[in-house]
Every structure is written in structure tokens, then in C-alpha cells.
Amino acid sequence: MRKSIGTLMVLAFVIIAFGFAQPVSAQITVELIDIGTLGYKHSIARDMNNLGHIAGMSPVAEHVNHVFLWTEETGMMDLGTLGGNFGEVFGINDLDQIVGYTRISTDPSITDFHAFLWSDGVMTDLGTLGGTLSMAYDINNLGQVVGYSKTAEGYNHAFLYENGEMKDLGTLGGTSSFARRINEVGQIIGQSRTASGEEHAVMWENGKLIDLGTLGPGWYARPIAINELGQVVGYCVDSSNQIIQHATLWDYPRAIDLGTLGGMFSSAFDINNLGQIVGGSHTEDYKIHPVLWEGKDMIDLGVISGPSGTARFINDKGVIAGDYLTDTGEGRNFIWTEQYGNIELPNIGGTRSWVYDLNENNQILGYAQTATLESHAIQWTLTIPQPEDPVSSIREEIDEIISTGDLGANEANAFNGPLTGAEHQIEKDNTAAAINGFNAFINQVEAFNKAGKISNEDAATLIGMANEAIAALGG
């Protein structure tokens, strides 16, 4: 059952990187690290791996941006560029291999930007498909790199780079294609123009180009994320009325309209390996709310305050990270969990912050304004306690009462039936039946108390614990 932050008393702490803790709201602990810059005002982080290592860009001088790798052990390392004065990052894998693009020369007459792969201290120019521009957008743990490049004819084509070679992935018959993401089994997603000029979602798998389509004629597709099962999410836009935009799940061969909260548009931004999808949707009263899609259910996660919010990422633990606008127009970030609902993330003193990634270890990547209006890359690390098993807690209390001689072991065995029943129903996610089990346990305790087999104090303790379990289940 989901709970809002307003109905749950939680005790959370924020630990700022400089070493002090400040209570904010909940048993969740949030560690915030300002990872700094390469020495000149700003840094922007674009991606983070499951080790918490971060790739991004930061100026080293005015109009000179370099690529960086940050780890907690080494700090921010300047990786340079391919020779020019600008570098940008889009992806990092769990081997600390980084991809993006940079200018290749400081010569003003050479305006080429090339995709790069940084690995083991070496930045490699991936070249192009014949044109003057290429960009690498993602890399998996096999070292496969995807992105797009200008061809000699000036068109944008998706590419796959592996084994030292850039391969043109082609199109659906039109002039352009674009590769955005690749999963760990090598499935690539992006979009492509057809011969008639429509933009369709596509997947490249085992060298084959698969047309994932759109929501129908006249719609164009924007796929954004893919999970390890090959399920793809993003959105489709009605080309005849571009205000109409619907979140979309592509589960080949189907393109599924995920609907809205009553408004004109919605977007899906991430999908985990359990098939849970997050994004944002227009409501009937023209606000934007973060959304979780689970199966056939579209769940409005609400906002902490202000007119709008969007869920950007979800991991396989069900933790969601996103952003929202306050009533005063400040940009803030939040996490949502099933147990604790929405909780605001701390910032570093400014009025704007953004989330850029969430890994499987509950670390969130973002960047934020400082009080002096610099923008710094930041990392939040969450420690989320697992909820206690209420049946185990009650049994431990019963054992304690037995040890003091206030309850006989034979009498205590009578409690096992309703407690075991409640335990099994919790495992089946059958809330109503679990509540019935706890109520049966309460009736048994009251009967023993009336018969003088358990003291008033011990009975009150056990009944209180059972009522807390019922309340936690929503009863």
C-alpha cells in the first residue's frame, strides 16, 4: 500500500558532504555530495554507473570545457578533449568507459565534432560516417557504443561502434535515423524517418532494423528508455495537433498508449526490469503530476508543492527520482518510495536543481545551483531501511513474555495460527486477509487476558503491535 508523506511520521537525516547531519523528515538517510568543478565555476554531470562513478563536463577556463570522471576515491579527474576547446559526455558504463563528443581542434577553420570513447586513460576518436559530426550517446558493459553521425551527404544516421569500427545502422527508407540507448544484451533503440517522412520508433537487434511504429498514422515517436527485456518507453506526438502527446510503451509488436491523467499530454521517461514505468502527465486542471504505471494502473504520485512535477527515473528496487516546481517557481527534486511516499531532496543553496540519473544502489545524480548561482554536479546517496516484519516482531515479544514466566509456552502456541495466517497473506499481498489474521490474533489475546492467562500490560503490548501492523497495511 502506498502512503503519502503527510500520513507517515518519518525521521530522515541529510548528511552534507562537509560532515554534519540535519534532520529533515524520515528514516531515510540522504547523503549529499557537491562534487565541485575542474576549477572554473561550473560542472554538469550527465551519467553515473552502478559504482556511483560520475561522468560529466566542466570548464577549465572561460569557453574551454573538458570531460571529467569523478569517483569518491579520486575526486574529479580532467580527461581533456580530442584537441578542441569543448567536450560533452552522455554515457558511462560500469567499467568506467565514457562516451560523448568533443571538438577535434582549436583551429577556428576546423569546426568538426567527433564522438569519443574514453577507456583506461585513453580518449579514442571514433570518427564519423563520412561527415563532420558524430555524437556517442550510450555505452553498455560490453563496450558497444551507439549514437549518430553525419554522412558524407549530410544526413544523420544512427551508428554502432564496436571492435574498433563504426557501423552505419541505416534507416527505414528515409534520410535520417538516431540511436539513443543500448541495453546489456545489445538491443539498440532510437528513431528513424520512413520513406514517406514519418518518424517511427525503431530497434536494432542482431543486425536487424525493426520498425516499432507509433500510436497510429499522423503520430511521430520519441523513444527514450529500454530495459533488459527489450521493453521501450517514451512518447508519441500527434503531428496534426502537437499539444497532444501521449506516453507510449513499445512491447514489440505492440505500441501501447499509456494515457493521461485527464489532460492533453503525458510522457514516459524510464522503465525498470519489473516493467514499472515513470513519467509525467497533464491533469484535468492543467497541472503536471509525476506518474507511475504498474500493469494497467496509472498512479498519480502527487507533488510535494507547486503546480508541476515529473518522475524521471525508477530502479529495480522501485525507488523513483524526479523534479518539481515549488509555488515560488524554484526547481526542486524528490524521491518516491512505496513505503514513504514523496520526500524532498536537499540542495546546495540555490533555487534550481535537476536529476540526471538513478542507479541500482539508490544513488541519484544531478546538478544544482549554489547560493552564488554557479551550477555544480551533485550526488545524493540514499539509505532506505527495509520495513520490519510485523509478525516476526510480535513473535519476538511473545518469546520475551514467555521468558519472564508471564505466559506459558502451551498458551503461546495458540497464537501461532492467526499469526501464521497473517504472515502467509502478507507474502501473497492479500492485505484484507492479513488484516483479518491480525484481528483474530487480537481476539485470542483478549480472550487469554480475560481468562487471566496473560497480564493486562502484556496484552496491551501485543494488541498495540497488532494494531500497528493493521495500520501499516491500511486497515
Instruction: Report the candidate in 288, 215, 286, 200 with the shortest Cα–Cα distance to residue 249.
Output: 215
Each residue of 64-112: pLDDT tens digit? Answer: 999 999 999 999 999 999 999 999 999 999 999 999 999 999 998 998 9
Contact 155, 133 (CB under 8 A): no
pLDDT higher than threshold 80 for residue 386: no
pTM, 2 dp: 0.81
Q: What is the DSSP letter of 373?
A: S
The DSSP element (H or E) to which 390 belongs, if any, is helix 390-403
Query: Which 3 state secondary structure label does DSSP give 267?
Result: strand
Q: What is the chain's Cα-based Rg?
A: 27
Cα–Cα distance measured from residue 215 to residue 223, given in angstroms and rounded to the nearest whole number:
12
Query: Which 3 state secondary structure label does DSSP give 35?
Result: coil
Exposure of 140 in the CB half-sphere (CA atoms within 13 A): 19
Confidence of residue 462 (pLDDT cuts 50, 70, 90): very high
Domain boundaries, the chain: 5-383, 390-472
Q: Which residue has the higher pLDDT, 173 or 340?
A: 173
Write out the E strands in 17-53. 21-23, 29-34, 44-48
Instruction: Report the candidate in 33, 14, 16 with the shortest Cα–Cα distance to residue 24.
Output: 14
Contact 246, 282 (CB under 8 A): no
Query: Which 3 state secondary structure label does DSSP give 7?
Result: helix
Confidence of residue 203 (pLDDT cuts 50, 70, 90): very high
Q: Is the peptide bond before 223 cis (omega within 30 degrees of 0)?
A: no
Each residue of 328-371: pLDDT tens digit? Answer: 999 999 999 988 899 999 999 999 999 999 999 999 999 999 99
Q: What is the DSSP letter of 52?
A: -
Residue corresponding to grid cell 507517515: 8
pLDDT given for residue 429 in this prediction:
76
Question: What is the secondary structure of 169-233 as a DSSP string?
Answer: ---BEEEEEEEEEE-TT--EEEEEEETTS-EEEEEEETTEEEEEE-SSTTEEEEEEEE-TTS-EE
φ, ψ of residue 90 to 5 degrees: the values are: -130, -20
Confidence of residue 430 (pLDDT cuts 50, 70, 90): confident
User: Which residue type sits at 242?
Assistant: Q
Q: Residue 255, Cα to own-chain centre: how many angstroms?
A: 22
pLDDT higher than threshold 70 for residue 326: yes
Each residue of 6-41: pLDDT tens digit? Answer: 222 233 444 444 333 343 444 789 999 999 999 988
The DSSP element (H or E) to which 84 belongs, if any, is none
Cα–Cα distance measured from residue 166 to residue 150, given in angstroms and rounded to the nearest whole number:
12
Residue corresponding to grid cell 580532467: 78
Cα–Cα distance measured from residue 252 to residue 98, given in angstroms and rounded to the nearest whole number:
30
pLDDT given for residue 51 in this prediction:
96
pLDDT given for residue 387 in this prediction:
65
pLDDT higher than threshold 60 for residue 166: yes
What are the strands of the beta sheet with 363-370, ordered from one edge? 21-23, 13-16, 29-34, 375-383, 363-370, 349-358
Cα–Cα distance measured from residue 173 to residue 175, given in angstroms and rounded to the nearest whole number:
7
Q: Please state, rounded to an integer, the average pLDDT across all residues of the chain.
A: 90
Cα–Cα distance measured from residue 104 to residue 85, given in angstroms and rounded to the nearest whole number:
8
Average pLDDT for 231-250: 95
Measuring CA to CA, how many Å separate 67 from each of 58, 75, 98, 160, 233?
A: 7, 14, 9, 22, 29
Query: Which 3 state secondary structure label does DSSP give 70?
Result: strand
pLDDT given for residue 276 in this prediction:
97
pLDDT given for residue 416 in this prediction:
78
Q: Does domain 5-383 have CATH number 2.30.38.10?
A: no
Question: Cα(first)–Cα(last) distance of the chain, in Å?
Answer: 10
Cα–Cα distance measured from residue 272 to residue 278, given in angstroms and rounded to the nearest whole number:
9
